[in-house]
Chain A
Amino acid sequence: GQNIDQPTEMTATEGAIVQINCTYQTSGFNGLFWYQQHAGEAPTFLSYNVLDGLEEKGRFSSFLSRSKGYSYLLLKELQMKDSASYLCAVKSNYQLIWGAGTKLIIKP
């Protein structure tokens, strides 16, 4: 079967760094997405990885290891507005398979 695992919830402190992990087992792999979803809002695109390695975009970075079926999203210099759910999705055979999302709580 196809499966994507993320922690359900994480807590971090404002100004700190947090790493959200995502492991996947899918029948095919054509790329991995990270999306951010604030409560009551639509998910918005953060990053896309198709090759192994680290992609950096401002305070956010995303890492992929295809051999390990593993990705992480790294958020630096956390701000209160980063409190949201972070969704990992794998493109497999032209279909996006989604994780249940990680709710990130930022404390002052």
Chain B
Amino acid sequence: KAGVTQTPRYLIKTRGQQVTLSCSPISGHRSVSWYQQTPGQGLQFLFEYFSETQRNKGNFPGRFSGRQFSNSRSEMNVSTLELGDSALYLCASSFTGGSTEAFFGQGTRLTVV
């Protein structure tokens, strides 16, 4: 079965712009989590969506937002981009979230210049 698909793979934006990233989970998975990965900080949790509802949220500013559609696809939006937002953004899907194994997409590499 198809894995987790994230688009685009690479993105270059300038400060102040906004960006939308997309994640299509594995078919049948209803939980989608988003993470930011940087060399110094490791994986930082952004938020989790389950059945179109945000179930958990990490400690990121309001510029980071997301949503989930009825087909479980999820989007993440970052507004007013800052240089520090440059990172690898990973999406992970799982059947119910929590204790079940999560499957990661290849990520979107965002560079803010």
Contact = CB atoms under 8 A, between A and B. Distances in A.
B90 to A, nearest CB: 7
B104 A94 contact: no
A99 B90 contact: no
Interface string A84-95: 000101010011
A95 B103 contact: no
Interface string B69-113: 000000000000000000000100000011101111111000000
Given A30-B98, A30-B99, A42-B90, A98 B45 contact: yes
Given A45-B103, A100-B40, 9 more contacts: A30-B98, A33-B101, A42-B90, A48-B99, A50-B99, A87-B42, A94-B48, A94-B56, A95-B45
A50 B107 CA distance: 28
A75 B48 CA distance: 31
Contacts of A45: 101-103
A64 B41 CA distance: 24
A105 interface: no
A41 B9 CA distance: 11
Interface residues of A, number: 21
A45 B4 CA distance: 14
B11 interface: no
Q: Which of B98, B105, B107 has the most CB of A within 10 A?
A: B98
A33 B94 CA distance: 14
A42 B99 contact: no
Contact of A101 (B43, B90, B106): B43
Contacts of A95: 45, 48, 56, 58
